[in-house]
Each structure stands twice: as C-alpha cells, then as structure tokens.
Chain A
Amino acid sequence: MGKIIVVTSGKGGVGKTTSTANLGTALALLGKTVVVVDADVGLRNLDIVMGLESRIVYTSMDVIEKQCELSKALVKDRRVDGLTLLAASQKNNKDDMQPEEMKAICEKLGETHDYVLVDSPAGIERGFSNASAGADEAIVVTTPDVSAIRDADRIIGLLQHAGIEPINLILNRFSPQLVGSGSMMDQDDVLDILNIDLLGIVPEDPGVITSTNRGIPLVYEDASPGSQAYMRIARRVTGQRIPIPELEQRGFLSNIVNWFTRNR
C-alpha cells in the first residue's frame, strides 16, 4: 500500500503545482512508482507543468462517470520510468466531484503505486476537501510572506481537524539575500508560527519559470539550486535523513563588513 500525500497551501501561486510536479518526478528518478493526481477540477495545470498536456485522453471525471477504467486514464511520462499523471477535467467544476469519489480513486491508485501525490487547488472549499479526502499525509507549501503563512496556518488547522498526520512544510521561493538584508522572514520565524516539521527549503530560482513554460520539471536539470532542493526533499520523503543545508544568508554589504572584521 503506497502513501497518499496531498500537496496544499491555502493561498494560490505559492508553488503547489510546481512542487507536486518536481517532487513526483524526483521520486520517480529515485526509482519509485509515482502517480501525480491533479485535483484542481476546472483549472487544471499540472499537465502543463509536467509537459503532458497533449497526451491526455481521459480524466478523473471520466473514471468517476465510468467512461473508462482508472488504469486507462493514467498518462505515462516517457522520460522516466514509473511516473504517471491522472489529469483533472477542465470542463467540469469542483462541485461535480464528491470527496468520497476522490478518496476511492486515491486508495485504488495507492494499491499499485509507491506514492500518490495529490495536487490540491487553492482555497479551503470543495476543491480542498476533494484533494485531501483520501490523504494519509500532507505537504503544505508556503512562501515566506505573511499572507501565505496565514493561509498555510489555516490549512494546517483544517488538516489537523481532518486527522491527517504528519503534516510537513516546504518553504518555497526563499531568498537568502532578502533574509540577509532583513526584508524577508527567515525559516525560524516561519517555523515558529506554523509549528510543523520542515521538509525542505526551495530557493528562489528563475529556472522555474522556463521549466514550467517548457513543460520539463526542474529536477531534470541537475545544476539548478531548485532542482537540488527538490531532489533532497524527495529523498527525505522516502525516509532518508538528509540535513537541510544552511543557505548563504549574507548580503553584499555584510560580506564587505565581514571581510573587514575578519582581517582585523
């Protein structure tokens, strides 16, 4: 029986879909069998980020309406073994699906895969309850700004209420330079408020935009800092103990100050 993990955030635009695509691909690169499930009915995006847009024939809605078998609706990613996508219907809306139906799909997928990653839509309404219905665990994605953190806090409260445990955090779009200059919250501030375990920190990486537009998840490019961060996160998800590296937090100015004090 595989693990069913919902990737969620509350606020939109903090990197749920990017995290799902990269984490899913990274887990597959580590040799696991993974299915990524888009739960954002009516506003699907995961297929684009994964570059599988053109190959979708059936969606989860077709499975629910018994138009096709679940196995037939899975789109295989040809770049890596063991990675498949279950797309969301773009023409329906979130109320057309029941949480129990989503739960049944996730549980069935869990029988045949090591990991089922469910990409949750933003918000706390039906889309969220559909996405989290079948989840054993949750990954909350947030950026280090107050509005995203307040929404993450709300979502954590709802997940706890639903009995989903453990809940881990991905701190996305983290900029050590901005933290160094005092204009961004650091990881301790964020963890102090949210009070859940940190799964990883993904640094701000302009490569994300190009990778999204090209439909090639970042983890295929070994050199980029974002890719390395997602690979580390994937290893932690599989249970490996990998320390979170200290990100260089010094800004340009403090580097100079530091250079002077060091040479005194």
Chain B
Amino acid sequence: MANSIVALRAYRDGLHLIIRPHLSIAEVEEAIQQEMSRMNQTLVGASVQIDLKCPLLEEEEMTYLKSKLQETYNLTVRSIETFDEQAPSPIAAAPTTHEIAQTANTQNGRDSEPSRIIPYTIRSGQAEGFPQGSLIIYGDVNSGAEVRAGGDIVVLGALRGNAHAGLNGRLSAVIIAMDLVPVQLQIGNFINRRAINQKPRGYPEIARLGVEDVIIVEKFVKF
C-alpha cells in the first residue's frame, strides 16, 4: 500500500478519491500530492468523487480541499460520499472480535521474521501455529484443520481448511497455496469466506489484503 491516507481509484462511474482517517488536513494534502505524483499522466479537467472513510471533515476543511484540488490539479469535485467504517462493506471483510495492534511498519516486517517448516499434511482437527513468524507447510491443510501464523502462510499443497496470517497485525502478510480452496481466510483481523466446494483452479494462488481492506485472491506468479 503506497499511501494509507489517500487513494485515487478509477471505478466504473469515474475517479474516486478515497480519504481514510488522518491527523490533520495538512497530512491529507501531502498524501494527495504523493498520490497525484504517482500518476503518470495528469488528470486535467477530470471530475472526482470524494469517498470519506474517516470522521467527517469540517466545512472549511472541505472547501479548502475542493479549491486546492481545482487549483493545483485541475480536478473538479463531482460529489462527496461518506462511509460508515463500522458497517462491513458488501463484498466481505468483517472485522473480528479480537483486537490486533496495528503496526506502523507494514513494509518490511517479513525480513526480520523467523519461519517454521511443517513437513507433513495437517489433517482435520489438527491445528498448527507460529505466532512469531511465517509458516511453510510441505503438505496439505485439510478441511477442518487450522493454521495460524504471525507472518505469511505458504502451503506447498492444497489449502482446504482455515488459515489465519498476520496474527500480530502485520497486514502485509499473505497466504499462498498450490490449490487455494479454503473454508475461511483471515489476514490480520479481516476475514474472507470463499464459496465452499470451490474446485481447485490448477495453479497456485495468493491471498492478500487489498485496498478497501478486502482480501483478494489472484493467480500467484512471483513475489
């Protein structure tokens, strides 16, 4: 995640500027500047919708932001929408009950972590965990089994049970399996249930936390 406060996204109905919780309007401004400089082409004359995923902004802050966007980047604000962060978004990611300390350093947590290898298949009713770091499993994780790791989970086989990566709140944690057909996936405190009885796709897949805090699953090519 390049920028945790502001994200510029193109959706079907046009550009959206997503603003997440922040300390000050200056921080937002800086984040917008970062996000805009990330864009290769300028977005001259485009209109954006602002999605507020944070406590409401003050009236004057909003006006300031609108004029700033217009002047500096030539962006017209088409509408403003507020989202209640507590309500789960329709596509998944319901926060769980246990509290997880959010670590600020989500970039390089992997480097300093130890890992543990489990050289066998984990069967129904069995659970393996490694809160200190990542888990590598030379086998399957069958339906009814559970694996939990502070870091990443890599299954060199089929993942058919439950997997929970990023136990300690490292949200950059990923779950990789040769056949990713789990009952439930969890990264940090975000849960995603996939349809049960899904057929294996025949290629390895990776699950990670994307924008909007939804767990996304895609074909695994490389790190």
Contacts and interface: CB of A to CB of B under 8 A. Distances in A.
Interface in B133-190: 140, 142-144, 158, 160
Contact of B121 (A124, A150, A195): A195
A151 B143 CA distance: 10
A157 B143 contact: no
A229 interface: no
A98 B140 CA distance: 34
A154 B125 CA distance: 6
A257 interface: no
A156 B158 CA distance: 17
Contacts of B140: 193, 195
Identify the interface centre among A149, A153, A156: most chain B CB within 10 Å of its CB. Answer: A153
Contacts of B158: 192-193
A195 B158 CA distance: 12
Contacts of B82: none
A237 to B, nearest CB: 24
Interface residues of A, number: 14
A254 to B, nearest CB: 20
B123 interface: yes
Contact of B143 (A124, A150, A158, A192): A150
Interface in A135-185: 146, 149-151, 153-154, 156-158, 160
Interface string A223-258: 000000000000000000000000000000000000
Contact of B123 (A124, A146, A154, A192): A154
A153 B140 CA distance: 12
A163 B121 CA distance: 16
A157 B160 contact: no
Contacts of A157: 123-126
B124 A146 contact: no
A245 B115 CA distance: 45
A149 B158 CA distance: 15
Contacts of A150: 124, 142-144
A15 B160 CA distance: 26
Nearest to B139: A195
A156 B143 contact: no
A157 to B, nearest CB: 4
Interface string B96-136: 00000000000000000000000001011110000000000
Contact of B160 (A151, A156, A158, A193): A193
A195 B145 CA distance: 15
Contacts of A124: 125
Nearest to B197: A146
Contact of A193 (B126, B142, B197): B142
Nearest to B121: A195
A192 B181 CA distance: 14
A146 B126 CA distance: 17
B55 to A, nearest CB: 46
Contacts of A154: 123-125, 144
Nearest to A149: B143
Nearest to A156: B123
A193 B124 CA distance: 10
A151 to B, nearest CB: 7
Interface in A79-133: 124
Return the 4 tightest CB-CB contacts between A and B, nearest first: A157-B123, A153-B124, A154-B124, A154-B125
11 contacts: A146-B143, A146-B197, A149-B143, A153-B142, A153-B144, A154-B144, A156-B123, A157-B126, A158-B125, A192-B158, A195-B140
Given A157-B124, A193-B140, 18 more contacts: A150-B143, A150-B144, A153-B123, A153-B124, A153-B142, A153-B143, A154-B123, A154-B124, A154-B125, A156-B123, A157-B123, A157-B125, A158-B125, A160-B123, A192-B158, A193-B143, A193-B160, A195-B121
